[in-house]
Amino acid sequence: MHKIDIELVEMTMDVMKYTIDRISSTNPKIGKPKKAEELKALVGETITKEGIGGEVAFKKWRKHLMKANVPVDHPRNLAFVPAAPTRAAIMFDLVTSASSIHGAYWMEGAGGIFCENEAMKWIVSLTGLPEGAFGVFTSGGTAANLSAIVTAREHWREHDAFKREKGLIITSIGAHSSIKAMAKVADVDILLVDTEDVMYGLDLQKTIDGLTEQQRTRLFAVVGTGGTTNAGIIDDLEGIAKICENENIWFHVDAAYGGGALAADSVRHLFNGIERADSITIDPHKWMFSPYDCGAIIYKDPELAKNAHSQQGSYLDIFKDEGAHGFNPTDYQIQLTRRVRGLPLWFSLATHGTDRYKEAIERGIELAQIAGRLIEENPNVELVRAPSLSCVLYRRIGWKPEDYTHWTYENHKSGFALVTPTKWKNGDTFETVSRFCFINPDTTEDDIKSILDSMV
């Protein structure tokens, strides 16, 4: 298994050929899921005592299994938050794997961690956080949000009065599901300000003023969103920051999706106030063109994260030794063993330069504006709200929820596009509407037009 033989050489050629074909393809096919039983019937038993051989396994992958996936970088995949890793980043993902680096401690991963930190310096510079702020790459936004919540809670619990209190955080209903899920993991209560639109400082102040004395004692953090997943809305970060400072509460900004837009001059002002946050989540695997998985958590004071996350064990003591000194990513988030997942981003940034990133991100915003105009020109559809960042919510006039679902399936089945419905709060009810989220700069105006034209 660990020997070099002719089979390995052939497998290497096959893998390289597949990779080159895939990354040089400009129009990958939109695959569709099949039931597990169907896939099993197609590929049969793959895990056997003797093994089926790399050639056979790879053939099954190419012929059947790969086709049951939807490539996130398809230009007409505008569902959820898609992705569009650069070809340089994808290639370096292979190099990252081939290099077998343990990315937890400097002692073992100095070269890789150095590169990650170079990329991280650029990301931190976009936030405007003060000198000393820094971050680490995580498996995604969920892990980044959890790392931040735990850091905030541990910092709060440094005070004896709160040692045995169950914490409470405030966010809005527009916040991503991972905030609610991670509050559960951290066993903290969560209170939702009732808006899916911008959460203003005033809404937050009203919510805080309405807390019981006991709730106020337990309140330790507020989570604002820098680009909601559903509609690309940015909370009033300046207003929220001011309240958090006055009330002495941790301010976390979840910019997992929207964080890339910090590089875009056209919308940077919408994020004003983010520089006053205590922690910020940004996912390079969303709008910074990294392959999965690559999230990031940034702290104004990384020492507080270290106090919360640094693991202790006699087998780990060597890493704290003078001879092994350096930046240890494990100390600042929930994972110990970790892939140097910021490495593909570093290579891509080094290859293309930050200006190209800025342009590609601006293109996502421009595509949302183009979609807005095309929707206004098309009598069958109308905007639900003005496009925000790279998200567009629109309705097909006269359609019921089941029409949106049917249309989504039809377009997906024919391999044309993946555009999924969502819901938007309209008064007291939730309306089913259609949604675009643009990440891929290769999406064209024609793509958008054909998708809208297919809503007949």
Ligand X SMILES: Cc1ncc(COP(=O)(O)O)c(C=O)c1O
> Which residues of this protein are in contact with ligand X, per CB under 6 A?
81, 140-142, 176, 178, 225, 229, 254, 256-257, 283, 295
Min. distance of Cβ 103 from ligand X in angstroms?
18
Min. distance of Cβ 260 from ligand X in angstroms?
11
Contact of 338 with 330, CB cutoff 8 Å: yes
Select 30 or 234, whichever has its Cβ closest to ligand X: 234
Select 180 or 385, whichever has its Cβ closest to ligand X: 180
∠ CA 387-416-71, nearest 5°, is 80
How far, in Å, CA of 279 to CA of 296, rounded?
A: 10
Q: Is 126 helix (H, G, I), strand (E, B) or coil?
A: helix
How far, in Å, CA of 381 to CA of 452, rounded?
A: 8
Q: Which residue has the tokens 């240890």?
A: 328
How far, in Å, CA of 250 to CA of 188, rounded?
A: 14
Contact of 238 with 272, CB cutoff 8 Å: yes
Min. distance of Cβ 164 from ligand X in angstroms?
30
| DSSP assignment letter at 106 | H
How far, in Å, CA of 36 to CA of 344, rounded?
A: 32
Min. distance of Cβ 252 from ligand X in angstroms?
11
Task: Locate 47 and state its tokens.
Answer: 């895990």
How far, in Å, CA of 168 to CA of 153, rounded?
A: 9
Min. distance of Cβ 116 from ligand X in angstroms?
17
Select 284 or 372, whichever has its Cβ closest to ligand X: 284
- Spatial neighbors of 439 by CB under 8 A, at least 6 apart, are 81, 82, 83, 84, 286, 287, 364, 390
Beta strands in 355-453 (DSSP E): 381-383, 391-396, 421-426, 429-437
How far, in Å, CA of 345 to CA of 442, rounded?
A: 19
Min. distance of Cβ 242 from ligand X in angstroms?
22
Min. distance of Cβ 433 from ligand X in angstroms?
18
Min. distance of Cβ 237 from ligand X in angstroms?
14
Contact of 282 with 298, CB cutoff 8 Å: yes
Whole-number CA gyration radius for the chain: 23
Starting at the edge strand found earlier in the chain, the sheet holding 279-282 runs 134-138, 295-299, 279-282, 250-254, 219-225, 168-172, 189-193
How far, in Å, CA of 124 to CA of 134, rounded?
A: 6
Peptide bond before residue 194 is cis, with ω within 30 degrees of 0: no
Select 273 or 455, whichever has its Cβ closest to ligand X: 273
Min. distance of Cβ 253 from ligand X in angstroms?
10
Min. distance of Cβ 57 from ligand X in angstroms?
29
Select 150 or 374, whichever has its Cβ closest to ligand X: 150
How far, in Å, CA of 308 to CA of 150, rounded?
A: 7
- If we measure between CA atoms, which residue out of 255, 377, 289, 315 comes closest to residue 88? 289
Min. distance of Cβ 225 from ligand X in angstroms?
6
Select 81 or 452, whichever has its Cβ closest to ligand X: 81
421-448: b or e for each residue (b if 16 or more CB lie within 10 Å)? bbebeeeeeeebbbbbbbbbbebeeebb
How far, in Å, CA of 231 to CA of 436, rounded?
A: 9
Min. distance of Cβ 12 from ligand X in angstroms?
31
